[in-house]
Amino acid sequence: MKLINRRLYFDYNATAPLSESVINYLRNGAFVFGNPSSIYTEGREARKIISETFDYLRLLFRIPNEGHEVFFHSGATEAINSLVKGMAMYASSQGQKFHFFYSAIDHSSVVKQALHLPLLGHEAHAISVDSNGEIDIEVVIQKIKQQKGLKLFNFTQVNNETGVVWPLDLAIRVKHETDCFVHVDAVQTPGKIVNWDNPHYELDSYTFSAHKFGAMKGVGFTILSQDMPWIPMHMGGGQQKGLRAGTENTHGIYSIKLALEDLTRTFDAQAVKMHKDTLEASLEKMLGAAGQITAKRAGHRNLNTINITFNHEIKIELLIAALDLAGLSVSSGPACSMGMPVASRVLLEMGFTERMAKNSLRISIGPRSSAEEMARAWEIFSTVLPKYLDRP
């Protein structure tokens, strides 16, 4: 047990450990079990904790009382699928064509919509990025203006692999200068940028995923303008005003409130940035000509993410295993397939070679990672990493 506790977990962009209040809630075990749609006592108890979460989100994110809805779902993958296909379905019902604009470095749940939309008679338009993972918003605006019909632009505020931040002002310009609806993938924002709790409601929708900020897995929420023209994908018992039918994940939803309360109570943006910057500077020095910090020159980067690309074949899976053995969990940017790294789609889009896109390391620290943990992580890096940098 002690050994497990001594491990260093630096893969917060993949998922976050459960926050303290969520652990206490689960440990306590005094769960309400009623169906939140039932009108008797047990049902009302379940409804109460969902309502508390709902009210808390309205307060925390300053969601306007009029014109915006919040609904819970099983996570961002579901929400993005529901919104995109739901808008496509709405367009079809109106005899319109639906155009979906997305960045080639968005999460797979966004990018893969391009496979489904043509099957439904609609169109998806990928927007490329430069070597720093940035988009040219003028190009986006021109692309959108060229199309007629119902349009949606997916704007990923923080990239999960590189930590590059796209300021919301860019999305607001798209909204002002085109007739496009905008969905913000805000999954990687809580605890990872300043002002993560301050959405701009000129934009039409924001999606968050609970497991990225210390709540339970398989649950998330979307804030949505009532003007969004879509037909929700989940039909059923009419829960959540029909925005997402299905019996609510009561405990998962309540864990969102608990985890966000913990996060807002303890979040210290300066400390997270200082920890990240210090480790990054040391790693950069150690890398020398062997590698570099990815997107170092991007206009805006988040507080917690360091992505390293190596200039020679490094056998990234062996490096990750060696760090793991030493007690440190970090990931290669791209996912692994059967334990072998695959080239990162994001890095390939940014212009990296196949070899470099296969050899990247992502370190994503947590909002409560301590100075002592950072020092121990550096000790591990400085012992393990040089062995992998020596090769020609």
Q: Are 215 and 57 in contact (CB under 8 A)?
A: no
Total residues at the site for ligand PLP (CB under 6 A)?
12
Q: Which residues pair with 308 in a beta bridge?
A: 293, 361
Closest CA to 60 of 205, 165, 196, 244: 196
Tell me which stretch binds ligand PLP (CB under 6 A): 24-32, 180-188, 349-357, 366-374: 180-188
Is the four-CA dihedral 272, 194, 129, 341 of positive or negative sign? positive
Does residue 156 bind ligand PLP (CB under 6 A)?
yes
Minimum distance from residue 71 beta carbon to ligand PLP (Å): 14
Cα atoms in the Cβ-side hemisphere of radius 13 Å centred on 151: 19
Show contacts with ligand PLP in window 60-99 (CB under 6 A): 75-77
Close Cβ partners of 316 (under 8 Å, ≥ 6 residues apart): 310, 332, 341, 358, 359, 360, 361
Q: Which is nearer to ligand PLP, 215 or 385 (CB)?
A: 215
Region binding ligand PLP by CB under 6 A among candidate stretches 34-42, 181-189, 261-269, 328-336? 181-189
Nearer to ligand PLP, 75 or 199 (CB): 75
Residues 6+ apart with CB under 8 A from 27: none
When asked if residue 349 is in the footprint of ligand PLP (CB under 6 A), the reply is no
Q: Does 21 bind ligand PLP (CB under 6 A)?
A: no
Residue among 173, 202, 172, 167 nearest 186 (CA): 167
252 binds ligand PLP (CB under 6 A): no
Nearer to ligand PLP, 188 or 294 (CB): 188
Dihedral angle, C-alpha 388, 390, 391, 392, nearest 10 °: 140
Tell me the window of 61-69, 185-193, 319-327, 356-364 that interacts with ligand PLP (CB under 6 A): 185-193
**Does 249 interact with ligand PLP (rule: CB under 6 A)?**
no
By CB under 6 A, tell whether 188 contacts ligand PLP: yes
Residue 274 to residue 354: CA distance in whole angstroms:
32
**By the rule CB under 6 A, 220 interacts with ligand PLP:** yes
Query: Taking the CA of residue 200 as centre, how many other CA atoms within 13 Å lie in the half-sphere pointing to its CB?
Result: 16
Q: Is 214 in the site for ligand PLP (CB under 6 A)?
A: no
Contact 64, 200 (CB under 8 A): no
**Which among 2-10, 182-190, 330-338, 379-387 is the span making contact with ligand PLP, rule CB under 6 A?**
182-190
Q: Which residues bind ligand PLP (CB under 6 A)?
A: 75-77, 107, 109, 156, 160, 185, 187-188, 209, 220
